[in-house]
Amino acid sequence: MLINISAGGALIETGHRLLPGSNVDLILERTPHRASVRGRVLRCTVVRLHSASICYRGAIGFDRSLPWFVEHERADMAQQVV
């Protein structure tokens, strides 16, 4: 589950343990955009424990900025200049 996202990274919750320093590939979709982005696990903690499962929260730093955030930032800057 996606908790928060920016052009440079994401905070996610998952049932899979994320090892800090490891590389991950995320596929992100936001209509009409879809992007596959590579990143590195920056940190990971346990946020919930149940008798049959564990939920982790991990921070991922992207290797490159997500294109739709870059487009949005450019549009915002252009509106401020006008």
Residue 24: name the closest of 10, 35, 40 by CA.
40
What pLDDT sits at residue 82?
A: 47
Cβ-proximal residues to 24 (8 Å cutoff; 6+ apart), any chain: 18, 38, 39, 40, 41, 60
Give yes or no for a contact between 61 and 25, defined as CB atoms under 8 angstroms apart: no
CA 45 – CA 17 distance, rounded (Å) = 9
Pick from 75, 41, 73, 76: nearest CA to 58: 41
Average pLDDT of span 34-53: 92
Q: Which domains does the chain have, with CATH numbers?
A: 2-81 (2.40.10.220)
**Which tens digits make up the pLDDT trace of 2-42?**
999 888 999 999 999 999 999 999 988 877 777 788 999 99
pTM confidence score: 0.75
Answer with the residue of higher pLDDT: 33 or 71: 33
Q: Give the per-residue pLDDT at 24.
A: 95
